[in-house]
């Protein structure tokens, strides 16, 4: 079952979502987690900015993934779950943008590439089946959870504001993964999990610097 409207309508919606995700600024429905924004020494500022740039790139990719999956989802319940998750990821995107401004730094210049690649992956996963698509969400969020754990270990202890944002992001990602599993997400084969991890590593390594 396709979403309401013609294919052209849905493609226009997808184009609008992509422009909003890439050109922003992102608008959060929830305020950013509160924590003191203490001044940081320059090495700590650069480290925090690099990590938050990676997180911002990940949220751009999440937008692309969810938008691509929602475009081709067959079950309205699956589509609704994906669209709700995408809206919550928009909060993360806005929080990371805000924190990067506070740190006097910039998002990844390769954001269009991260979005387009993830959108294509989302469409491919969705075309396979809704169960595969949901399984892709569950596995992605599992890997993101581990990634955010690493960032919490690396962030400067004095950067309480970035830490509060990452902790809330982690909590939301865990919930998204759990929801996808409960909705019937299929377990993905190990080679595909490994490929997803390798692809994510390329993005996170590149976004840290560019």
* Residues 6+ positions from 148 with CB-CB distance below 8 Å: 55, 166, 169, 170, 173
CATH of the domain at 182: 1.20.1260.10
Domain presence at residue 24: no
Between 7-16, 75-84, 182-191, the lowest mean confidence (pLDDT) is in: 7-16
Domain presence at residue 9: no
Residue 113 lies in domain: 51-207
- Nearest Cα to 120, choosing from 65, 80, 63? 65
Domain presence at residue 13: no
Domain presence at residue 147: yes
Highest averaged pLDDT of the listed ranges 16-25, 44-53, 129-138? 44-53
Calpha distance 66→37 (Å, rounded) = 31
Domain presence at residue 18: no
Tell me: the pLDDT tens digits for 147-173? 899 999 999 999 999 999 999 999 998
Tell me: the pLDDT tens digits for 106-149? 999 888 888 888 898 889 888 888 988 888 888 888 888 988 99
pLDDT of 1 higher than 50? no
Mean pLDDT over 162-190 rounds to 88
Q: What is the dihedral of CA 171, 74, 11, 199, to 10 degrees?
A: 50
Domain presence at residue 41: no
The per-residue DSSP string of 68-124 comes to HHHHH-SSHHHHHHHHHHHHHHHHHHHHHHHHHHHTT----TTHHHHHHHHHHHHHH
| pLDDT recorded at residue 170 | 93
- Nearest Cα to 204, choosing from 53, 21, 26? 53
Count structural domains, the chain: 1
Domain presence at residue 7: no
Label residue 10 by pLDDT band (50, 70, 90): low
pLDDT of 43 higher than 90? yes
Domain presence at residue 130: yes
């Amino acid at each position: 079952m396709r979403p309401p409207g013609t294919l052209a309508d849905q493609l226009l919606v997808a184009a609008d979502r992509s422009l909003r995700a890439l050109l922003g600024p992102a608008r959060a429905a929830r305020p950013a987690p509160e924590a003191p924004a203490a001044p940081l020494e320059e090495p700590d500022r650069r480290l925090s900015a690099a990590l938050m740039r990676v997180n911002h790139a990940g949220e751009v990719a999440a937008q692309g993934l969810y938008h691509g999956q929602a475009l081709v989802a067959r079950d309205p319940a699956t589509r609704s779950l994906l669209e709700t998750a995408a809206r919550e990821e928009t909060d993360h995107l806005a929080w990371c943008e805000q924190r990067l401004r506070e740190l006097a730094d910039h998002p990844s210049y390769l954001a269009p590439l991260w979005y387009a690649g993830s959108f294509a992956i989302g469409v491919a996963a969705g075309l396979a089946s809704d169960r595969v698509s949901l399984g892709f969400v569950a596995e992605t969020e599992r890997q993101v959870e581990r990634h955010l754990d690493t960032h919490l270990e690396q962030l400067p202890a004095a950067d309480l504001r970035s830490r509060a944002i990452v902790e809330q992001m982690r909590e939301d990602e865990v919930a998204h993964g759990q929801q996808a599993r409960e909705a019937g997400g299929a377990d993905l084969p190990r080679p595909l999990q490994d490929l997803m991890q390798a692809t994510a590593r390329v993005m996170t390594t590149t976004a840290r610097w560019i």
